[in-house]
Amino acid sequence: MVFQRSRTGIRAVVPALLLLLTTACNSAPRSEDHADGWVGERTEQNSTLTVRTVSGSVWAGEGRLIEQTAIGTETRGEDDLLGTVEGMDFAADRIYILDSDYYTLRVYDFDGNHVMNIGRQGRGPGELAWPTDMGIDPVRRYLVVREGVMGILHRFTLEGEYVDTLRPGLRGGLSGSILLLRVTRSGVPIVPQFTHRRAPDTDLGYISTYVLYPVDQNGAITDTLQLPVYDHPSYVLTAVADNQGNYRPEPVPFGPQEVWSITWDGALITGYAGEYRFAIHYPDGRRTVIEREAEPVRVTPGEKEWHTRRVNAIMRHFRPGWAWNGPAIPDTKPWFVAIIPDRSGRLWVLRTGAGRPVEGWTEPDDWRGWERSRAWAEEAWFEVFEEESGRYLGRVPVPDNFASRPEPVIEDNTFICLTGDEMGRPIVRRYRLELPPPA
């Protein structure tokens, strides 16, 4: 299956016979009121199912994440310390953490005890030069480690033995926390590549985006998946930093962005955060669109004023006299900042809420301080949906200092993610998900 760009989203190119077999009659919105408390509407049009949550949820209350293990606190000694976490995964009772500072996969048991390291710095067999992301092949029980700049995939057994290196030749050029290597349930690595493409049928010119490539067990590329082009203003500011044309980009605070991910079955999730609406594009041409009616979160005047000062301080370091050259800060916050699929058929939509001033904040001395030091903090939470039905399940609070990249790994009631401590040190935590009963 090849997915192509279009003005309104992803268009699947399939044989005419398949189109004939999968095209269904259009249907009017059908209201559904379930005994569990969820109220919504379902609309089917050709191969697209749209599910809209009008009110209520499946769960009777909020879910909870109860901490079980913390890795990176130094309580167990030097082996507990983490550097730069590019990815994580788990199998059975072991947690695998890709640490690019140490050029290794660090392995721990579920209690947080260090078991072993896999790989070391170098360019030989079983060695890592620039690891950027990772995943676990559930079919062959291999660890797959990507070196994005070199365009290769290393494979190890879960016990740490080097297997081989695949060479699809896809170079990322960015750090692993921005990329996402997904190894599907069928054992297919899907590799993203950062690129610039001309947007067809629009006046957007060249855009920065990703192309996604499934790779077979011999390292050959078998398909191409491209993200959609959205017809909206680019919420990015720029400052030309030197006479060679190098520039500094800076997102407009609270400007809605495109969000994407890949399910564990290889479906592509895409959404534009200017509306509470996202789509799941299945390889067979089907599409499920999930929507929810909700109240927007307003940006307070204090938040807007501080973020304006912050952007000006950063950009004027690169270009003295710089003036705002993009869309204004919106009055409301984006509907979501990430969509995270789990292995149990749920979609975790990360949202942010009202801001509050940080006690004791002092104005930084230089632009780097403006980058790191925040005067405003935001509430954050997940709104969880069931992929198969599109129904809204309920809300789960986000752990303190939660990082959405690299993506957390979630299955059943196990939730593993990257966080930090008060000193900014990386800590990988394992939580037990406790769900309320049905409404």
Residue 425, Cβ density class (10 Å: 0-12 exposed, 13-18 middle, ≥19 buried): middle
* pLDDT at residue number 179: 61
Q: How confident is the model at residue 364 (pLDDT cuts 50, 70, 90)?
A: very high
- Written in H, E and C, the secondary structure of the chain is CEEEECCCCEEEECCHHHHHHHCCCCCCCEEEECCCCCEEEEEEECCEEEEEEEECCCECCCCEEEEEEEECCCCCCHHHCCCCEEEEEEECCEEEEEECCCCEEEEEECCCCEEEEECEECCCCCEECCCCEEEEECCCCEEEEEECCCCEEEEEECCCCEEEEECCCCCCCCCCCCCCCEECCCCCEEEEEEEEEECCCCCCCEEEEEEEEEECCCCCECCEEECCCCCCCCCEEEEECCCCCCEEEEECCCCCCEEEEECCCCCEEEEECCCCEEEEECCCCCEEEEEECCCCCECCHHHHHHHHHHHHHHHHHHCCCCCCCCCCCCCECCCCCEEEECCCCEEEEEEEEEEEECCCCCCCCCHHHHHHCCCEEEEEEEEEEECCCCCEEEEEECCCCCECCCCCEEECCEEEEEEECCCCCEEEEEEEEECCCEC
Question: Is residue 334 within 8 Å of 273, Cβ to Cβ?
Answer: yes
Whether the pLDDT of residue 17 is over 50: the answer is no
Mean pLDDT, range 142-154, rounded to an integer: 91
The residue with greater pLDDT, 305 or 210, is 305
Nearest Cα to Cα of residue 327 among 419, 235, 418: 235
pLDDT tens readout for residues 112-135: 999 999 999 999 999 999 999 999
Radius of gyration of the chain (CA): 22
pLDDT surpassing 90 at residue 165: yes
Higher-confidence position of 286 and 151? 286
Confidence of residue 245 (pLDDT cuts 50, 70, 90): low
The whole-number pLDDT of residue 30 equals 63
**Angle formed at CA 162 by CA 427 and CA 170, multiple of 5 degrees:** 75
Structure tokens belonging to residue 409: 């790994």
Name which of 67-76, 171-180, 239-248, 250-259 the model is least confident about. Answer: 171-180
Mean pLDDT of 220-228: 88
- Whole-number mean pLDDT of the chain? 87
Q: Which of 173-182, 234-243, 316-325 has the lowest mean pLDDT?
A: 173-182
What pLDDT score was predicted for residue 28?
57
What's the pLDDT at 256?
95
CA distance 257 to 336: 9
Alpha carbon distance 434, 66 (integer Å): 7
- State mean pLDDT over 386-411: 95
Those residues whose C-beta lies under 8 Å from the C-beta of residue 60, and which sit 6 or more positions away, are: 37, 436, 437, 438, 439
- Sequence letter at residue 158: L
Q: In this model, does residue 9 exceed pLDDT 70?
A: no
8 A C-beta contact, residue 38 and residue 58: yes
| pLDDT value, residue 121 | 95
Which residue, chain included where needed, has tokens 């690891």?
131
Q: What is the pLDDT of residue 34?
A: 60
Task: Kindly state the tokens that stand for 128.
Answer: 């890592």
CB 396 within 8 Å of CB 58: no
Neighbours of 415 (CB within 10 A): 24
- Number of C-beta neighbours around residue 185 at 10 A: 13
Q: What is the mean pLDDT of residues 283-289?
A: 95
pLDDT band (50, 70, 90) for residue 322: very high
CA separation for the pair 340, 392 (Å, rounded): 14
* Confidence class for position 111, pLDDT limits 50, 70, 90: very high
Q: Per-residue pLDDT for 20 more than 50?
A: no
**Which of 176, 200, 180 lies closest to 259, judged by CA?**
180
Convert the pLDDT of each residue in 185-220 to its tens digit.
Answer: 999 999 988 776 554 444 444 556 788 899 999 999
Q: What is the pLDDT of residue 334?
A: 97
- Average pLDDT score over residue span 402-409: 94
**How large a percentage of the chain has pLDDT more than 70?**
86
pLDDT at 11 over 80: no
Burial of 48 from C-beta contacts in 10 A (0-12 / 13-18 / 19+) = middle
Token pair belonging to 379: 């509430």
Strand-pair category, 85-91 with 64-71? unpaired
Domain 2-434 bears CATH identifier 2.120.10.30: yes
Residue 174 has pLDDT above 60, yes or no: no
Most confident stretch, 16-20, 278-282, 365-369 = 278-282
The pLDDT of 22-32, averaged and rounded, is: 51
